Structure 1
Amino acid sequence: MKKIIIPILTLLSLNVIAQQQPGVIKLTAEKLHARVREWPYPINGITVPTNAPALLWPGTNGKNMVTPMESGSEVPEDPNIGNVHYKVVLASDKDFKSDLTESEEQRWAVYPLHKALKPGKWYWKYGYALKGAKQWSWSPTYNFVVDGKYANEKVAPPIIEVLKRNQGAHPLLWGMNRIGDDFYRNNLENPEAKKFIAFAEKLIKEPLPTEKPQRIIDTTGKNDREKKIIIERMYHGFGDAVGTPVRNLCIAYQLTKDKRFILDAKRRALNIAKMDPNGLATGDDFTSGAVLEALGWFYDAGYAVLDPQEKELFKNIITIRAKRVYDHLPNRFELHVSDNHVWQITLRNLAIATVAVVNEVPEAKEWLTYMYEVWSARFPVLGTTDGGWHEGNGYFRVNFKSIIYLSQMFGDFSGVDYFKLPWMQNLPYYLLYTHPNGAASTAIGDMWENIPDVVKGEAWFADALTFRMNNPYLNWYVNAIKTSHPDYFRGTDDYLLFRLLNYKPDRKLPVLSPEKLPKSRDFADVGVVAMHEDLANADKTLSSYLFSSPFGSSGHGHASQNAFTINYKGKVLFGGSGYYSNFSDKHNLLYYRSSKAYNTILADSLNQKIGEEGYGWIPRAITGQHIQYALGDASKAYGEIKSEFWLDRFKQINLVPNKANGYGESGVTLYRRHILQLEGGYILLYDELEANKPVKWTTQFHAPYYTIEAQPTNNTNEQHFALKTDLGNVNAAVFANSALNLNVHNKFYETAVNWNKVTNDEGKIKDFVDQWHAGITSLPAQKFRFFTIIQVKDGKTEMIKTLPATNGLAHLQVGDWNIKVQLDGNKKAALQVFGKQANAMFNYGDLPISFNGQAYKPQLTGSSTLLEMKGIKLDKQEVVDKLPDVALYDKE
């Protein structure tokens, strides 16, 4: 037997991390999350955080590693990915004789273990063979350790048990053949069910839909690519428009047993079953997926009202549309960090249709097996355990329905409560901290500008979670949204069925205000730290966010490592800039998605890399009563774009990501940004910057909704500007140890044009207006420091006093806060902040610490330390760099 050789594995250092100096970790891996899997997991003797890990490995086409190919992408699919089968062996000894598990042959490159492993060391390897071949090629033997503390975790059962639970008569979906009568009786007096039935009564009187665009957009003067996108946009939503009524009528039938509803569902389902699967109306993955789901809904719920010929019609069209999705999944989709369209929508569509026909269409058992295995191995794809979502809250919304309904569905099948996963249990805190009620969100990622406040989809999602979670802070959050937006909850929404399935007439929801929760929270696995003055009243107070994502700028994420956002009284003061018009038009690739659109650093005016290679991470965070602190590291974020996927996106619109367009090698070797939110309305930024050559460093500030005005200064080593708002007074001062140049303007690097007629959440075409920007640039320097003080006040801002330097440190005072900071890039970084009234001190570096008349010495070299008094008791918090989960567990 020969061993598999995957050339790209040699690009990854076996020592992914290295100590740069005490307390500081330097990541050396080219990427932490590959666009497609490039190394196996788990390996190198890591202790896995479970008793039943999923075994993952790079896919192959028989000769080379599978490369990125997303659904809907213009990158052609490798025609050989379907010609490979895999096997896995696992044992508790390296000779594979003890506790041996051997898998069946399979087409996909994941193998979730559906049995609890005993504590100790385990060994595994995978092999592949071309279809029909007898010779298998095997990987090296890998090993990992299971800790006894995970022994009692519940494990998802094997697929054979899932398939058994789907045997029996229709309706199979949601277990209705078992719970249908209880579902009917339980909702007889449910006010929401009664309201929905009245809605369905009106629905059956509406005419059949016709195949026509949802909107008309002029394509005059557009190139072929733009025309294609515009035509897709004209029909975008058609599948939901024709499919949702079918689903709703099926639900109404199950609530009432009134045949009028299922017969009208039949009329509508027959209408869409006859639509051309390749036509403009239902041909793309979203519209076809919605139609596929609707057909599955009706075939399952309405099986008894179909004659034999009609059953064949539905089986055939479901098979055609389902195969069109499924045939492009194995040995591709499961390998991707996140093939967005599938995870967002079409996986749910396919799962519903598959269950509907699983006992009548032979291939459907394979479809269900694949989806269950991938779900078990990969969910949640853009998070790990902290509850966060990599792409930001704007596009997180697109995943909500699938998160809710697939968790319900696979939970029904397996008996596992997916709402108790660590990620799910932390999800309410992510919602609460990153998008408080009445306030703006984090202003990051695609479509962030569409959510200036909590919007309907977010409200419905949070409300749905309360039906399966016992979290009093989540209940408070939902109650607050219902108080602020009662109009959101008056209609029929996409989570109605979920609420009906989980309805309890005597449901009592305990409520706790988040006022006693920590003021800040670190979501390190997705790279977000949220800091709040008053989490329970974020719509009236100050909030700030720091971003540095281990995922890089994959998918709908942006090249925004070490960027910050500041919100005040519920509005974005400083945040992302530009507009989402298309995934990769000129404005998107040259500005909106790039570092130029964010409050981060440019080096010689060059952006961070787009792609998974341009990553950052959050090494440290501390939450206190008077001081909140976070540290981001974007040292690996800069350089040439390497992602073939993104290079192809540039090529598609005849752009080159060169220095003339803001991309290329800048030589950055270190970028660590410290951010502190101080009581009283102050944000401090301290940037440690190094490159392998002298570069001009530019620290950026973007005000998407307000005007920036330059302010005079008598010292060329500092620059000042103010933000003109209706919320209070906001100004910023930036300090360095050499001359700085300030540039304030209101033009995008690449003009924003809404050529695609993109709409906001209310369906109105978005107006792409100019926004204000400030850039402060240094003289060329190989090592450099910026120090920034931002004041956000209801009343007048404070004069910043420059005091005599102390031991080579700049000495500043603003309000009650006394600050010492090392601005010389050639000297060791240091920052010390003391508030007399707050009786709180922050220290970073090797400075002597004197607090309340006592001397303190850090216990950890190179640490960040926070000292605060809680009454008469000292609260001391000291941190050094801590790795995110992906760097701890999933490394080569």
Structure 2
Amino acid sequence: MRPDYLKRSFLGKSGDLAWFRLQCQRPLPEGVGLDSLPSEYVFPESGLAAFLTDWTDWHQNAMLTFRSSPYGSTSHALANQNAFNTFYGGQPLFYSSGHHTSFVDRHSILCHRATRAHNTILVDGMGQRIGIEGYGWIPRYYTGSNVNYVLGDASNAYGEVVSPLWTDRLRKSGVETSPRTGWDVNHLATYRRHIVELGTSGLVFVYDELEADRPVVWSYMLHTVLHPMTIGHELQALHIRAINYARGVSDAWLYASTALTADTTSQFFVPADNWLKGDADGRYASNPNHWHFTASTAKTRCCHFATIIDTHSADSKVRKPRPSKDGTIHVADWTIRLNLKADGRSFFSATNSKTGTEVTLTDRGTFIRDAGHTEILVDHLPQLEI
């Protein structure tokens, strides 16, 4: 019991909301229920997307969230364009890492805000700019009956920190912005990440188009914050598994256009020292380490990554991809044809043998066939409220 709750929280959000509820005896609005809501949302204006499987029982809900935002990484935003997170049972699996100790703490900047902390790509060890200059966007998306799709473009996100506000703020805080800490002259030309939700059962296909103006090392990253990942070679791919306390699992199979060198660590780039948040007795609890997976290529100007992710209960059967000799991949009722050649044109096609659903990347755009509906998606600029 907290009898002084309202007094202590006065003019605070929790206290004021409680006071409002006590004063306004209005019944809550009645609706048709959560199960009537769509299982997917895409907000191109803010650069956010979410796909989930079960509105009615969060205990068995598998979810993927995605960000590629035209507002960049200024204010409280993170340098995580084209990054995704996965969840099961309301808990994270593949998830952004790091601790927010303070706004310009070295660890918070270099291991929480910076790109190395997120499930996206590094270019020759270089991350995305801090500031509005490091932006992404969502050129195409589709939400439908049997398939959902979003395309994020982070081609303009990378390079040196050039924002006067942020260069001054980081300089005063003693945070170096250099190639050593992950910011360098930009050599990225294209980074487009396609995400296809294959049905509404937690199965996802991710396809990355990457090109630079010179040969670079491409580094594909995944992170966990609750348990270590397990890594292995399986089915012509790197198999990365994340688990959480809700008996949830994300299995990811990573394919690439070149050979990969994989590395995992439980150490941050900068230690997560807790120097600010102590209790009443002056004790400062230590921040736990997180786990980081990186798969890196040899230097190459172009690269393609493809990932199949199955997020599910630990009690259910894993839907493993079944690669064929011709490069086709079968998973559940889906057949995925794709180009992984480094110097080849970007291409993938995902078709369902039972429903006839299809998502195909072509030179003209992204072709969708779903429940009797067909269309070709092309790039459209979002309508920003600025």
TM-score when normalising by structure 1: 0.40
Q: Return the offset for 1:561.
A: 0.4
Q: Partner residue of 1:443?
A: none
Name the aligned partner's letter for residue 685 of structure 1. V
Query: Are positions 1:783 and 2:302 aligned together?
Result: yes
Q: Partner residue of 2:378?
A: 880
Query: Are positions 1:868 and 2:370 aligned together?
Result: yes
Q: Partner residue of 2:17?
A: 495
Q: How does 1:303-452 map to 2 (within 5 A)?
A: 401=13
Q: 1:514 to 1:876 in 2, by over 3 A?
A: farther
Structure 1: how far apart are the matches of 2:132 and 2:61?
35
Aligned partners of 1:640 and 1:665 also within 8 Å: yes
Structure 2: how far apart are the matches of 1:797 and 1:577?
26
Corresponding residue to 1:640 among 144, 160, 163: 160
Q: How does 1:511-550 map to 2 (within 5 A)?
A: 511-550=31-70
Q: Partner residue of 1:369?
A: none
Q: Partner residue of 1:770?
A: 289
Q: Return the offset for 1:500.
A: 6.2
Q: Partner residue of 2:220?
A: 699
Q: Return the offset for 1:677.
A: 1.9
For each residue in 1:252-294, what CA deviation from the matched residue of structure 2 results, as whole angstroms up to 9, or x when unmatched? xxxxxxxxxxxxxxxxxxxxxxxxxxxxxxxxxxxxxx9xxxx
Query: Are positions 1:744 and 2:264 aligned together?
Result: yes
Name the aligned partner's letter for residue 686 of structure 1. Y
Please state whether the residue corresponding to 1:661 is helix, strand or coil: coil
Aligned partners of 2:80 and 2:114 also within 8 Å: yes
Q: Return the offset for 1:830.
A: 1.3
Please state whether the residue corresponding to 1:707 is helix, strand or coil: coil
Query: Are positions 1:594 and 2:114 aligned together?
Result: yes
Name the aligned partner's letter for residue 309 of structure 2. I
Q: How does 1:677-688 map to 2 (within 5 A)?
A: 677-679=197-199, 680-688=201-209
Q: Return the offset for 1:681.
A: 2.8
Please state whether the residue corresponding to 2:368 is helix, strand or coil: strand
Corresponding residue to 2:241 among 711, 719, 722: 722
Structure 1: how far apart are the matches of 2:265 and 2:235?
21
Computed over aligned residues only, the root mean square deviation of the Cα atoms, in angstroms, reads: 2.6
Q: Return the offset for 1:866.
A: 2.7
Query: Are positions 1:834 and 2:351 aligned together?
Result: yes
Aligned partners of 1:733 and 1:788 also within 8 Å: yes
Structure 2: how far apart are the matches of 1:731 and 1:880?
31
Q: Partner residue of 2:128?
A: 608
Query: Are positions 1:690 and 2:203 aligned together?
Result: no
Q: Return the offset for 1:602.
A: 0.3
Name the aligned partner's letter for residue 380 of structure 2. K
Structure 1: how far apart are the matches of 2:262 and 2:292?
10
Aligned partners of 2:250 and 2:312 also within 8 Å: yes
Structure 1: how far apart are the matches of 2:110 and 2:330?
39
Please state whether the residue corresponding to 2:190 is helix, strand or coil: strand
More strand by share: 2
Query: Are positions 1:583 and 2:100 aligned together?
Result: no
Structure 2: how far apart are the matches of 1:695 and 1:814?
32
Q: Partner residue of 2:311?
A: 792
Structure 1: how far apart are the matches of 2:139 and 2:192?
9
Aligned partners of 1:822 and 1:828 also within 8 Å: yes
Q: Return the offset for 1:839.
A: 3.9
Q: 1:721 to 1:875 in 2, by over 3 A?
A: same
Aligned partners of 2:62 and 2:312 also within 8 Å: no
Structure 1: how far apart are the matches of 2:157 and 2:85?
19
Name the aligned partner's letter for residue 844 of structure 1. L
Q: Partner residue of 2:30?
A: 510
Structure 2: how far apart are the matches of 1:582 and 1:729?
31
Please state whether the residue corresponding to 1:590 is helix, strand or coil: helix
Name the aligned partner's letter for residue 264 of structure 2. V
Aligned partners of 2:258 and 2:342 also within 8 Å: no
Aligned partners of 1:529 and 1:621 also within 8 Å: no
Aligned partners of 2:63 and 2:202 also within 8 Å: no
Q: Return the offset for 1:725.
A: 4.2
Q: Return the offset for 1:545.
A: 0.9
Query: Are positions 1:622 and 2:178 aligned together?
Result: no
Q: Partner residue of 1:815?
A: 332
Q: Return the offset for 1:684.
A: 1.4
For each residue in 1:430-486, what CA deviation from the matched residue of structure 2 results, as whole angstroms up to 9, or x when unmatched? xxxxxxxxxxxxxxxxxxxxxxxxxxx5xxxxxxxxxxxxxxxxxxxxxxxxxxxxx
Q: 1:738 to 1:516 in 2, by over 3 A?
A: same
Q: 1:597 to 1:723 in 2, by over 3 A?
A: same
For each residue in 1:681-721, what CA deviation from the matched residue of structure 2 results, as whole angstroms up to 9, or x when unmatched? 32211111111111100111011112111113585xx4222
Structure 2: how far apart are the matches of 1:793 and 1:822?
27
Q: Return the offset for 1:826.
A: 2.5
Structure 2: how far apart are the matches of 1:598 and 1:592?
8
Q: 1:508 to 1:683 in 2, by over 3 A?
A: closer
Structure 2: how far apart are the matches of 1:837 and 1:725?
32
Identity %: 30
Name the aligned partner's letter for residue 868 of structure 1. D
Structure 2: how far apart are the matches of 1:658 and 1:740?
26
Q: Return the offset for 1:801.
A: 1.8
Q: 1:519 to 1:799 in 2, by over 3 A?
A: closer
Q: Partner residue of 1:845?
A: 362
Structure 2: how far apart are the matches of 1:681 and 1:765?
39
More helix by share: 1
Structure 1: how far apart are the matches of 2:45 and 2:121?
22
Structure 2: how far apart are the matches of 1:824 and 1:590?
33
Name the aligned partner's letter for residue 710 of structure 1. I
For each residue in 1:723-743, what CA deviation from the matched residue of structure 2 results, as whole angstroms up to 9, or x when unmatched? 244514432111122111111
Q: Partner residue of 1:473?
A: none
Aligned partners of 1:519 and 1:628 also within 8 Å: no
Q: 1:877 to 1:758 in 2, by over 3 A?
A: farther
Q: Return the offset for 1:596.
A: 0.5
Relative contact order (alpha carbons < 8 A, sep ≥ 6): 1 or 2 greater? 2
Name the aligned partner's letter for residue 576 of structure 1. S
Please state whether the residue corresponding to 1:660 is helix, strand or coil: coil
Aligned partners of 2:235 and 2:323 also within 8 Å: no
For each residue in 1:804-834, what CA deviation from the matched residue of structure 2 results, as whole angstroms up to 9, or x when unmatched? 32xxxx3111222110111124222111111
Aligned partners of 1:567 and 1:573 also within 8 Å: yes
Aligned partners of 1:523 and 1:529 also within 8 Å: yes
Name the aligned partner's letter for residue 867 of structure 1. R
Q: Return the offset for 1:626.
A: 2.7
Structure 2: how far apart are the matches of 1:515 and 1:839?
25
Q: Return the offset for 1:647.
A: 1.2
Structure 2: how far apart are the matches of 1:753 and 1:802?
45
Q: Return the offset for 1:508.
A: 6.0
Q: 1:732 to 1:668 in 2, by over 3 A?
A: same
Corresponding residue to 2:176 among 653, 656, 660: 656
Structure 2: how far apart are the matches of 1:770 and 1:499?
40
Structure 2: how far apart are the matches of 1:514 and 1:876?
28
Structure 1: how far apart are the matches of 2:312 and 2:379?
33
Q: 1:513 to 1:878 in 2, by over 3 A?
A: farther
Q: Return the offset for 1:553.
A: 0.5
Aligned partners of 1:518 and 1:624 also within 8 Å: no
Structure exhibiting the larger radius of gyration computed from Cα positions:
1
Q: Return the offset for 1:550.
A: 1.0
